[in-house]
Structure 1
Amino acid sequence: MTNSPAGHTPNVVLITGTSSGIGLHAAIAAAQAGHTVVATMRNLEGTRALLDAADAAGVTLDIRRLDVTEAQSVTEVVAGIVGRYGRLDAVVNNAGSGHLGTIENETIDQVRAVMEVNFFGVVGVTRAALPHLRTSHGRLITVTSVGGVIGQPFNEAYCAAKFAVEGFMESLAPVVRSAGVSVTVVEPGAVATSFVANVGFDPTAPAAVGDPYAAGLAAYLARAGSSFASAQTAESAGSVVAALLDGDVPPFRVQTSDAARQFVGVKLADLDGSAVQRLTSGWIA
Structure 2
Amino acid sequence: MTKTTHHPAGLRDAVVLVTGAAGSIGTALRRVLAGEGAVVVGVDLSADPGAGILACDITDEAQVRAVVEQVVAEHGRLDVLVNNAGISAIGTIDDHGVGTHRTVMEVNYLGALTCILAALPHLRASRGSVVTLGSVAGFAPVVGRPAYVAAKHAVTGLMEALRPELAPDGVHVGMVHPTFVTSRLVTTEGSQVRSETGAQVTPEDVAAAVVDVVRHRRDRALVGRTAYLAWHASRLAPRTYARLMTRRLRQETP
What residue in structure 1 maps to residue 168 of structure 2? 178
What residue in structure 2 maps to residue 284 of structure 1? 250
Larger C-alpha radius of gyration, 1 or 2? 1
- TM-score by length of structure 2 reads 0.88
Compute the displacement of 1:234 (Å): 1.3
Per-residue CA deviation, residues 89-136 of structure 1 (Å, 9 max, x unaligned), is 010000001111222332111111110011100100011111110110
- TM-score by length of structure 1 reads 0.79
RMSD over aligned Cα, in angstroms? Answer: 2.4
Runs of 4+ in 1 over 3 A off after TM superposition: 1-4, 198-204
* Among 131, 146, 168, the residue aligned to 1:141: 131
Q: How many residues align structurally?
A: 245
**How many Å separate the matches in 1 of 2:131 and 2:250?**
33
Compute the displacement of 1:266 (Å): 1.2
What residue in structure 2 maps to residue 267 of structure 1? 234
What residue in structure 1 maps to residue 145 of structure 2? 155
**AA in 2 matched with 1:30:** L
User: What does residue range 25-104 of structure 1 map to in structure 2 within 5 Å?
Assistant: 25-44=28-47, 47=48, 62-104=52-94
The farther-off stretch of 103-112 and 23-32 is 103-112
Residues 11 and 38 in structure 2, CA contact (< 8 A), matched pair in contact too: no
Identity of aligned residues (%): 31
What residue in structure 1 maps to residue 201 of structure 2? 232
Per-residue CA deviation, residues 170-203 of structure 1 (Å, 9 max, x unaligned), is 011100011100101100101111216x454465
Residues 87 and 188 in structure 2, CA contact (< 8 A), matched pair in contact too: yes
Q: State yes or no: 1:18 paired with 2:8.
A: no
What residue in structure 1 maps to residue 212 of structure 2? 243
Residues 151 and 159 in structure 1, CA contact (< 8 A), matched pair in contact too: yes
**How many Å separate the matches in 2 of 1:66 and 1:125?**
11
SS at match of 2:130: strand
Which structure 1 residue ranges, 5 or more long, are not aligned?
52-60, 205-220
Residues 189 and 260 in structure 1, CA contact (< 8 A), matched pair in contact too: yes
Residues 182 and 249 in structure 1, CA contact (< 8 A), matched pair in contact too: yes
**AA in 2 matched with 1:261:** Y
What residue in structure 1 maps to residue 3 of structure 2? none
Which structure 2 residue ranges, 5 or more long, are not aligned?
1-5
Compute the displacement of 1:265 (Å): 1.6
Q: State yes or no: 1:168 paired with 2:165.
A: no
